[in-house]
Amino acid sequence: MTISGNQKRKMKSAARLYAVQALFQMETSGQTAQQVITEFENHRFGATYDGIELREGDSGTFRQLIEIAVNHQAAIDQLTDRALVAKWAIARIDPTLRALFRAAGAELTHFDTPPKVVITEYVDMARAFSDDDQEIKFVNAVLDHMAHESHPDGL
């Protein structure tokens, strides 16, 4: 069975969401990267909860995002810190947003995804987590700064 381009995009979007959820779970539960990767791939990708079927995620993208976010966390957190308003260190940010910034930072610094796509994907994800317009604008501004710093030749 061949997968259409649209289906591939949806699977990558799902992988991004799963990566943010997995990074959040790692931080709050103390699980290792391998533990969450195994759990998500075996129990979350395509699973059905309360009659709602979750989308199948792109496993390669998911694994890369987790591994890069974990292995390069210090550099990604520094990139995020530089994008935050003065006196707002990443440690003060909500754990969900911290996970989102880490996954986005991994993609901005180690993938060939166009920065505008990364910003759009993760801002849309932030909308799913919050209906606070100020928080969405904050996420957009931080991601925009991170994208400009990691891609100084232009977006």
Residue 32 lies in a domain: yes
Domain-located, residue 99: yes
pLDDT (mean) for 82-93: 76
Residues 103-130, buried b or exposed e (16+ Cβ, 10 A)? bbbbbbbbeeeebeebbebbbebbeebb
Q: What is the pLDDT of residue 48?
A: 77
On whether the pTM is more than 0.85, the answer is yes
φ/ψ of 27, rounded to 5, equals -65, -40
Is residue 144, in this structure, part of any structural domain at all?
yes
Is the confidence at residue 5, as pLDDT, over 60?
yes
128 part of a folded domain? yes
**Residues 11-59: tens digit of each pLDDT:** 999 999 999 999 999 999 999 999 999 999 998 888 777 777 778 899 9
- pLDDT, tens digit, for every residue of 55-87? 889 999 999 999 999 999 999 999 999 998 766
Q: Is residue 155 part of a domain?
A: no
What is the residue range of 146's domain? 5-150
CATH code (residue 79): 1.10.940.10
Domain count, the chain: 1
CB 15 within 8 A of CB 58: yes
Q: Which pLDDT does position 4 carry in this prediction?
A: 82
